[in-house]
Amino acid sequence: MRIRKRAILVVLAVVFVLFVANAVEGNLLNRAGAALKEENYPLALERIKPLAMLGDSTAQQLLGWMYAFGNGTPANPDEALKWFRRSSGWFKKDDGKVGAHAYWIARVYAGEEIGWPAERSEVQATRWFQIAADHGSSEAARRLAARTH
């Protein structure tokens, strides 16, 4: 009987710790989002990077976008792709998220997505359409073929 009570207490303690950790992580992500909205990219990077390193998928995606557009850090497509891949899951094959992210970034650089912090660049748009096509985006492959003909 005593062992059962201890087991129940241990389970309750673990659930409580997980609940508190989840609340803290959510608060940090909300504060990072607020910094992004204020275009305070260094602060956003400071708040997002630790969460991304701990495995938070949303933070990994945000960090990938920051590297893709050079917000708070020099633009680095390789680093952006690394974080997009991580956000897709450590142990599963790329499920299309990387291609989807790259396609969206290409559209931003092509001037098709208004209000994002990137200047129009046909070179960057073509580069990101290629990355998206390489990661399975058939629409990116079609758009890339149209650009090269």
Q: Average pLDDT over the chain, rounded to whole?
A: 79
Residue 86 lies in a domain: no
Q: pLDDT tens across 74-113, in order?
A: 988 888 888 887 886 654 555 577 888 888 888 888 888 7
* Distance from C-alpha of 89 to C-alpha of 111, rounded to nearest angstrom: 30
Residue 136 lies in a domain: yes
Over residues 48-66, the mean pLDDT reads 89
The domain boundary, picked from 42, 73, 104, lies at 73
Residues of the chain with pLDDT > 70: what percent?
74
Task: Yes or no: say if 81 and 64 are a contact pair by the CB < 8 Å rule.
Answer: yes
Same structural domain, 36 and 99: no
Q: For residues 52 and 16, which has the higher predicted lDDT (pLDDT)?
A: 52
Number of domains forming the structure of the chain: 2
Q: Where in the sequence is the domain holding 52, given as residue range(s)? A: 1-73
Same structural domain, 97 and 69: no
Give residue 16's pLDDT: 44
Coil, helix or strand at residue 127: helix
Q: Give strand ranges (E) for the chain.
A: none
Residues near 23 by beta carbon (within 8 Å), at least 6 away in sequence:
none
Same structural domain, 1 and 68: yes
* Distance from C-alpha of 46 to C-alpha of 68, rounded to nearest angstrom: 17
Give residue 18's pLDDT: 45
Q: Model-level pTM?
A: 0.61
* Distance from C-alpha of 68 to C-alpha of 102, rounded to nearest angstrom: 9
